[in-house]
Amino acid sequence: MSTAGFVISSLDCLISKAFTEKTKGKLLSYGSDRVPYGKIRIKNPITSKGCSSNEQESTSLLNLTGSPFYVSDSNTLIAIGCNNKASLTNIEPSIVGCFSSCLPTNRTASKDYLETVNCNSKSTYDDDGYGYCSERSYINETSCNGNRCCKASMPGSIQQVVGVKIDDNAIKIKECKVAFLTYDQAYSLLHGSDPNLVLAKRYSTVELGWFIHTTDLLSFVDSLKCMFMTEYLNLSRRSYEWTSGISCACDYNSYFPNYTSCRCNRGYKGNPYIPGGCKDINECTESDHSICGDGTCVNLQGSLKCVFSNHKLAIGFGSSFGSLILIGGIYGLYKFIGKQRRLNQKKKFFKRNGGLLLQQQLTSTEGSVDKTRVFSSRELEKATENFSLTRILGQGGQGTVYKGMLVDGRIVAVKKSKVVDEDKLEEFINEVVILSQINHRNIVKLLGCCLETDVPVLVYEFIPNGNLFEHLHEDESDDHTMTTWEVRLRIAIDIAGALSYLHSAASSPIYHRDVKSTNIMLDEKYRAKVSDFGTSRTVTVDHTHLTTVVSGTVGYVDPEYFQSSQFTDKSDVYSFGVVLAELITGEKSVSFLRSQENRTLATYFILAMKENRLFDIIDAPIRDGCKLNQVTATANLARKCLNLKGRKRPSMREVSMELEKIRASSVDMQLHEYGSENEEDNEKGVADANIELQSWNSIAVTAPTSQYDVGTSSLSISDIEPLFPYQTR
């Protein structure tokens, strides 16, 4: 390389000569893997005080003036010894120093260090300043934190003259003190707190930076066909291929504008300071092992590539492709087996839940195919978002009701039962077929069912406005619709019409078995719709601990049914009478807030009628604005429905017709016949009803415990939830 008529032919000669001529230190190493790029390391005397007669001066100076070298800022000032105050000189305007105190310490630390390292003053050292000690396990070495040892960093500016001084004005204690410059990596292996151990090394290792002087930096780098270091690093970060063929890179320092240092890049070695001095390394021959494995190594400028024969490539490609096909086949087989397993499980559930019987019924019954729909489990999972918790409308002892939307946009209520009673599946299928054919405006429509799940799932039309119980006993909104007698009378007429249809007008008589206010749904116009009639009760197992054929809800169950275990159409009439009493009084069917003799609404209502206190028990919101003649006639009708003897109760058809007459009446009506013929029976009924209330604990009845405080009563709460709650999602 030529610069200002000077040719650099030997980098070793240049560095060695420049260093020995300008400094008195001994060159240790440069250009090795352990020395950073653009740096050299030298031996430098250790400054000591109070250690021995032949110790170094308390001040030492490293002068690099006139050379291309400078003290690197990677060096650190270290001071070891008790009350040792050390500082750097000739670095104005910077001031660098530290003070090591002499606080009490566990003196076994230094002993452990010596025993572990097994080094002494006679130890020899390698060229980089590391002692040949028998062990290099520095488990108990101390840290240089100010106690017997301190350190301070070099300033960031370029320094060519640096001195190390131990302050003579420090506290006069006759103990050995040492101070020296060293680069951090070297001292991290030697930082004991015993100054004699450090002094035995006789010198410290100092790291210097260096640059080559040029008259024109840009022309010099161009003549070498090198690239500036910053540009080279930016290209190599993007892609290694972008730096292919660039053998060297040079850097410069802002403190020395015309000085530079260069290096051979990866894949090259040699002298970067002469044109073409960095020669390509043949990685294929210099590597100790086969880099390419089964392939052939081809050397390139600064790199290599591996070439594989077509035969081997074909084998590798075929193996990879075959593996992919095998994995794909296994995955496809796994999916197919899973699909078949789910399909077989659905078939098993369909058969167990009476699906074959349902198909037979649909085939044999003319016209029923269009009316009874069998949903697939996938349809209902999609409609309810896989039966998501956010879709739950209500939960009860019999099952959980979800809000869903079918593919045609219809909003439905999907009722999923909890447990199957297989002994009643035939009855369940028959009722599904019959009930799905019912088309009455005051009956919640059963749209169909799904038998592919572990338990049968029923699909009903969705009623958005909640149930009658909520509006009578829980509604705290500003809606005053239920505060008028006309609305309540219309609701009673709707219920009576629906029950009359079930009992007589349907293709086969259907008994509801659980008429109560929570099973009376209200649409957006407050039209009543009877729901939950019988079907779910035939397919679920009662969750009470008692086993009996008698079931129902406390306060609504027919006493005659309780005694005989025989349910008739007149049992529905009795339950309807309780609902009528609720509409008139606004009272709950059972309330522990009333006295014991008036605990059931039936008893409370009959006693009030007997004592001519009807006006006193009329619900306050309707008392002032009602037509008293209609309320009285309705109350007398309710009293007849509550007769303990079923044969003396009117049929639901008669009840429906009578309520229509009451609504149409414009003059006072005196229906004494409904009171006189029941007088004797109901006197006995007052006592019997209370006796029976105490017996409910021994039968499988359900009570809406959320409607009143049951205290310690053991009444079942398995049936308290309505099919559709008031709040919808």
Tokens 């270290």 belong to which residue? 78
Pairwise CA distance, residues 346 & 355, whole Å = 11
Out of 167, 514, 558, 569, which one is annotated catalytic?
Answer: 514
What H or E segment, with its residue span, contains residue 16?
Answer: helix 11-22
Check: CB of residue 437 under 8 Å from CB of residue 508. Answer: no
What span, in angstroms and rounded, lies between the C-alpha atoms of 653 and 664? 17
Neighbours of 73 (CB within 10 A): 16
Q: Alpha carbon of 134 to those of 60, 118, 200: distances in Å?
A: 32, 6, 16
Q: Which of 393, 402, 395, 391 lies closest to 706 in space, CA to CA? A: 395
- Asked whether the beta carbons of 468 and 522 are under 8 A apart, the reply is yes
Residue 509, preceding peptide bond in cis (omega within 30° of 0):
no
Cβ within 8 Å of residue 446, ≥6 positions away: 432, 435, 436, 438, 458, 459, 460, 535
CB atoms near residue 624 (< 10 Å):
7
SS3 assignment for 30-90: ECCCCCCCCEEEEEEECEEECCCCCCCCCEEEEECCCCCEEECCCEEEEEECCCEEEEEEC
* Residues in Cβ contact with 261 at an 8 Å cutoff, skipping those fewer than 6 apart: 37, 38, 209, 210, 211, 212, 250, 251, 252
**Total number of residues shown for the chain:** 729
The closest alpha carbon to 263, from 233, 239, 219, belongs to 233
Dihedral (CA of 529, 533, 539, 541) sign: positive
Q: Which two tokens stand for residue 136?
A: 């290099």
Query: Which residues lie across from 296 on neighbouring strands?
Result: 307
- Find where tokens 């009455």 sit: 440
Dump the DSSP string for 656-718: HHHHHHHHH--S----THHHHTTHHHHHHHHHHHHHHHHHGGGSEEE--GGGS--TT---B-T
Handedness of CA 478, 483, 486, 490 (dihedral sign): positive
Whether residue 146 contacts residue 222, with contact meaning beta carbons closer than 8 Å, is answered with no
399 forms beta bridges with: 417
558 is known as an active-site residue: no
Residue 162 has φ and ψ, to the nearest 5°, of -140, 130
Give the catalytic positions in this structure. Answer: 514
